[in-house]
Structure 1
Amino acid sequence: MTPDEPPLLPSRWPILTAQIVAALRDEGENGLAEQVATLRVLQICDCDDDFCQSFYTQPPPDGAYGPDHRNVALIPSWSGMLVLDVVRDVIMFVEVLYRPPHD
């Protein structure tokens, strides 16, 4: 990683990474699970809600994601929410709500 490159998700939050992979595999989303190790944390959500720990793995869209977008709602190992925004089978945004701080 160069100094300008955003960190890989597993190096920043290894436990969260494992939780996302496990939740994707539980839902049969094996192709998406394979991507998780290579995701970069490009931008943290700036909503300022204290229960939100969401982040972008691709540049944020200018408006809506469009017709190739789908939400992948997962059952996380914590009592909160985990939803992925996926466009053309690429994880774009990871919505993490009501989870203890990232680790």
Structure 2
Amino acid sequence: MTYQDKILQCADCGYDFEFTSNEQAFYASKGLTNHPKRCKSCRNARKDSSRYGVRSENNSRKMYDVVCSDCGADAQVPFQPSGNRPVLCKNCYSNSYSRRSA
């Protein structure tokens, strides 16, 4: 199938961008049927946003202070412990995980 370059409008910034014939062929080879909605710079900005796992300082995950069940060291974890399961510090968790997978 032959493709021709298309001009599309970005859903975020409103500027026109080119959807090249090579990009269209790539989309088709991956089974993608929809055209891109965003220009390359807006796609990259969206990927870098907090929605995709990058957190800014004011959007950081709440950390909870705990005492490690194995070694007794003070630690912080990114979840609120329920109290009915042991909580491990990073080192003890890594050691425990490596023993289980070996």
**Into which bin does the TM-score normalised by the smaller protein fall?**
under 0.3
Larger Cα Rg: Structure 1 or Structure 2? 2
Q: Is the strand fraction higher in 1 or 2?
A: 1
Q: Scaled by the length of structure 1, what TM-score is found?
A: 0.27
Higher relative contact order (CA 8 A, sep 6+): 1
